[in-house]
């Protein structure tokens, strides 16, 4: 089944929203802290520098042409521009993300251009 709710998902401006498996879409929004500084009262302090997005979803089995489009979108570099709907922020977010190595190897190095089952994709913001 395809994603039937109004989430967006595109990689390097190529839309893959219709290929996302229903109920597999999840996002995260975690803080990135500075190094801890210990003050004279022996208390450790750290500050949130920024927030890091994460995206996890499953892509349904694809036709050869759809898989080629996914390979093309992902193979341009290690870091890709991903646009997705953040469930925590309730808005679309575009950021530079990296795909986990296991998923990247499965998608990019698939010489036959055929995937027999669904593909788990896990992205983390750089």
Most confident of 33-47, 69-83, 97-111: 33-47
Using alpha carbons, list the distances in angstroms from residue 50 to 29, 86, 119, 126. Answer: 10, 16, 30, 11
pLDDT in tens, 53-83: 999 998 888 877 888 888 888 876 677 889 9
For the entire predicted model, the pTM comes to 0.78
Q: Where are the domains of the chain?
A: 9-125
pLDDT at 2 over 70: no
Distance in angstroms (rounded) separating the CA atoms of residues 82 and 62: 19
* Of 75 and 50, more confident: 50
Any residues with CB less than 8 A from the CB of 122 and at least 6 apart, and which?
54, 55, 56, 99, 100, 103
The pLDDT assigned to 96 comes to: 92
Distance in angstroms (rounded) separating the CA atoms of residues 110 and 8: 25
């Amino acid at each position: 089944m395809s994603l039937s709710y109004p989430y967006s998902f595109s990689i390097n401006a190529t839309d893959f929203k219709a290929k996302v498996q229903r109920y597999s879409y999840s996002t995260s929004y975690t803080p990135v802290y500075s190094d801890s500084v210990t003050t004279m009262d022996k208390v450790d302090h750290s500050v949130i520098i920024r927030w890091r997005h994460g995206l996890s979803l499953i892509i349904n089995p694809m036709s050869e042409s759809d898989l080629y489009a996914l390979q093309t979108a992902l193979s341009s570099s290690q870091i890709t521009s991903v646009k997705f709907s953040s469930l925590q922020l309730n808005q679309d977010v575009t950021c530079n993300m990296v795909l986990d190595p296991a998923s990247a190897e499965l998608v990019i190095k698939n010489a036959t251009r055929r995937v027999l089952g669904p593909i788990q994709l896990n992205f983390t913001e750089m």
